[in-house]
Amino acid sequence: MEPPDQVAAVILAAGEARRFGSPKQLALLNGRTLLQHVVDAALQAGLAPIITIVPPGIALPGVDVTRIENPEPERGMSHSLRLGFANLPAEVNAALVLLGDQPMVGSRLIGRLLAARGATPFVATLSEGARVPPVLVERSHFGVVEQASGDVGLRDILRRHAELVTAVDEPRMAADVDTVDDLHAIGGG
C-alpha cells in the first residue's frame, strides 16, 4: 500500500512589519488575526503539517501550528523559507509556501494549486503576469530553497526557471497587507 500524499504548509510570518508599525500577523480582520485566516485556509485545504515562521517573542494564541522562531527576521524572507523547509518531516511530498499577510488567500485557490500538481516541480499563482505566492514546491526540488536569498523568497528562482513552473491564473489575487491602510481596504483594523 502506497503512503498517503502529504502536502505541508510553510507560512512565512516573520517579517519585521516596518511599514505596518506593529506585528501585522496579529492584526485583526473580522475577529481573527491575519495569520489565523491563512492557517484556517491551509487547514480547510487539508494541508498538514502547518509550519509557521514567526519573529522572536510573537505568541500565536488560538493557532494550532508548528511554530518556528526566526531569530534573525532582518535577514529576509529567504531565511524564513529555509527555516520552514528545514523543519518539514521526511514523509512530506510537497510544501505550499503561504504568506502570513495574505488573509484573503482561501482554500479554493489552495485547492486549485494542489490540483495543478504533476507536470512540473513548482506550481505558482499567476496574477497580473507575475508568479506570486502561494507557491507549491515538490519534494524533488526542496533543495532549491537553499538558493533563495534576500527578501524575495522564491521569486527569482521561479523567474529563472519558468520551464519548471505550472502557473494557476488568479486575476483577483489579494495583495499582501503591508500597511494599516491595506488592512482597512479589506475591512480590517
Three cell numbers written together for 73: 527576521
Residue 134, helix vs strand vs coil: strand
Is the model's pLDDT at 21 over the cut of 60?
Answer: no
b or e along 147-176 (b: 16 or more beta carbons within 10 Å of the residue's beta carbon)? ebeebebbbebbeebeeebbbbebeebbeb
3-state class (DSSP) for residue 75: helix
96 burial type by CB count under 10 A (0-12 exposed, 13-18 middle, 19+ buried):
buried
Cis peptide before 55 (omega within 30 of 0): no
Choose among 8, 9, 7, 6: nearest CA to 98: 9
pLDDT tens per residue across span 39-77: 999 999 999 999 999 988 877 766 678 999 999 888 888
Is the pLDDT score of 1 beyond 50? no
Q: Which of 9-13, 111-115, 174-178 has the lowest mean pLDDT?
A: 174-178
In tens, the pLDDT along 87-110 reads 999 999 999 999 988 888 888 999
Q: Is the dihedral of CA 188, 69, 133, 114 positive or negative?
A: negative
The whole model's pTM is what?
A: 0.88
Taking residue 22's Cβ as centre, other Cβ atoms within 10 Å add up to 9
- 116, 87, 118, 102: which is closest to 33 by C-alpha? 102
